Amino acid sequence: MRQKQEADAFVLAVGQLDSELPLTWQLYQALQQAVLQRRLPPGLRLPSTRDMAQLLGVSRNTVMNGVGQLVAEGYLETVPKSGTYVARRLPEEMLHVAEKEARLREQRVGERNKRPLSPQGQQLRDTQEVFGKTAVSYPTFVTGIPDLAAFPFDLWGRLVSKQYRQGKRELFGEVGHGSAGYLPLRQAIATYLQTARGVRCQPEQVLIVNGSQQGLYLAAHILLEPEAQVWIEEPGYLGARAALGSTGATLVPVPVGTEGIDVVRGVAIAPAARCAYVTPSHQYPLGSTMSLTNRIALLNWAEESGAWIIEDDYDSEYRYSGQPLPSLQGLDQNGRVIYVGTFSKVMFPSLRLGYLVVPPDLVAPLARLRALVDSHSPTAVQGAMAEFIAEGHFVRHIRRMRQLYGARRAYFAEAAARELGDWLHLNETEAGMHVVGWLPSGVDDQAVVLAAQRQQVTVKSLSSHYLGDCPRPGLVLGVMGVAETAVSPALIRLRKAIESASYKAGKRMYNRSV
């Protein structure tokens, strides 16, 4: 009778093995989660491997492999001639104790060894905010990653090789081409932006930079000084927040609605702000589009107060219904907008090639600041990019990817509805390379991110994009760099992560109530 009760409790705690993952991996994860969530309490004796295999309907080898891995990791322990038991002290607990002790040691050493730095250096040393790129072996739903399999690398390689074969002096000679960038590329960008984005500019107003992040940093350090107020979108892009904050400026979060940044609210909070950072064509991360009324109001405020506007047009090419919306810069009649663009999300991330379009009076100071940072971007890449645009390859690639991404977005929505059900509701938008999914109320989205990492799924928490309180928990998921065959297995693992975080949140709420 007792053995039957133990067997029933074991099956109830572990659940069904029914995903597309290998059975050994399913069993390992199921047992691990059951142990971590105390459904299998410390010290509990487990059924024999033969009985486990029979109860779960799998081979004994599958059970032995999964159990053996958990014993090796310290979740389970074997007692000779007695059986297998749930470990009385879990490795996570021991790890957390070791991590706490290590942090205390580092803190003591750090306090002794802190050397004086500039205010910016101290800010970078002391900040806890993560805004850089983190290398992971399982990229899954990382934002900003295009479908690399669809990029014409053979063609790109030929264009780059051609630059070296020709050995043009303006690309490789001592005279060079200046910190503003290779003129043929600046000309090609200006022509493209005038046609595709409605940007009003001459080639001389285009500056080549190493990606949009460098462009944001340069713009911030030209426009802002310590304690100057700058509007930022709430929620907003972490990279922009870091670049603007690095100047010592005061970041003023302005809420974002269905029509983009709330200009009326911004004026009420900080009417004399020096600058406003916006993503009007496709707000990051919520995906809304700034209405014409808000665009005009923002431009009027900038002109009346003498403020600047930084327009980040990071993925405006990818709109799946109708035509891409014209830029905010195209409406600017008074030279108040600095336009930031990038090729990294359209082509491939390691390209590190972006551009600024600036009012004529800012070209010289920005080019000089650019020279102080790293002189110029790689010349052969600039030459290849100029030809890639001029020969029509760039526009054709965007057209192909827009069609591919539209289909992939629809496929992801169907898979998410099927695999996640009520655990995640997608925010409906018609543009961009990422989606926002809303979590159930009370679930900690940052806890979901950590649980997803243990399931080898990478996502971002929506709350991390807020300076203030996040009104509703959610996840930000990049969906275009994931092959369709990999979507469902990744979503199944994500569901387990959400369930785990939700279970812990419910348990905490229950404990507080009693």
- Could you give the number of structural domains in the chain? 3
Instruction: Count Cβ neighbours within 10 Å for each residue of 292-324 and write b for 16 or more, e otherwise.
Output: eebbebbbebbeebebbbbbbbbbbbbbeeeeb
Walk along the chain (514 residues) and give the pLDDT tens digit of each residue.
566 767 777 777 777 776 666 788 888 888 888 888 888 888 888 888 888 888 888 888 888 888 888 888 888 998 888 889 988 877 656 556 555 666 666 666 555 556 677 776 666 666 655 555 555 556 689 888 888 889 999 999 999 999 888 877 666 764 446 789 999 999 999 999 999 999 999 999 999 999 999 999 999 999 999 999 999 999 999 999 999 999 999 999 999 999 999 999 999 999 999 999 999 999 999 999 999 999 999 999 999 999 999 999 988 888 877 666 789 999 999 999 999 999 988 898 888 899 999 999 999 999 999 999 887 888 889 999 999 999 999 999 999 999 999 999 999 999 999 999 899 999 877 788 999 999 999 899 999 999 999 999 999 999 999 999 999 999 999 999 888 899 999 999 999 999 988 866 554 443 443 3
How far apart (Å, rounded) are the C-alpha atoms in residues 355 and 314? 11
Q: Does one domain contain both 234 and 177?
A: yes
13 and 23 co-located in one domain: yes
Domain C-terminal end among 61, 91, 121: 91
- The CATH number that applies at residue 491 is 3.90.1150.10
Q: Which of 91, 111, 140 lies at the terminal end of a domain, its last residue?
A: 91
Largest CA distance in the chain: 89
Is position 406 within any domain? yes
C-beta separation of 116 from 224 below 8 A: no
Tell me which residue has tokens 């289909």.
407
Residue 131 in any domain: the answer is no
Do residues 239 and 363 both lie within one domain? yes
CA geometry: angle at 437 spanning 25 and 464, to 5°?
95
Last residue of a domain, one of 350, 371, 394: 394
The answer on 417 and 287 residing in a single domain is: no
Residue 230 is assigned to a structural domain of this protein:
yes
Q: In this structure, which amino acid lies at residue 425?
A: H
- 259: domain range? 169-394
Examine the domain organization and report whether 201 and 321 are in the same domain.
Answer: yes
The answer to whether position 143 is within a domain reads no
Burial of 30 (0-12, 13-18, 19+ CB in 10 A): buried
Q: Using CA atoms of 45, 50, 51, 57 in order, give the dihedral in degrees to the nearest 10.
A: 130
Concatenate the DSSP letters of all residues of 360-406 into one string.
HHHHHHHHHHHHHHHS---HHHHHHHHHHHHTTHHHHHHHHHHHHHH
In a domain, 206, yes or no: yes
Is residue 260 domain-shared with residue 385, that is, in the same domain? yes
- The number of CA neighbours under 13 Å toward the Cβ of 375 is 5
Q: How many CB atoms lie within 10 A of CB 350?
A: 9
Distances (CA, A) of 427 to 233, 414, 431, 435, 444: 18, 13, 11, 7, 18
Strand partners, 233: 254
DSSP string across 428-451: --SBSSEEEEEPPTT--HHHHHHH
Cα angle 275, 279, 284; round to 5: 125
Please check whether residue 116 lies inside any domain of the structure.
no
Same domain, 62 and 187: no
Q: Which CATH number covers residue 23?
A: 1.10.10.10
Q: Token digits for 311?
A: 């327009």
373 CB neighbour count, 10 Å cutoff: 14
Residues 6+ apart with CB under 8 A from 29: 21, 455, 496
| Residue 388 within any structural domain of the chain | yes
Q: pTM of the entire structure?
A: 0.75
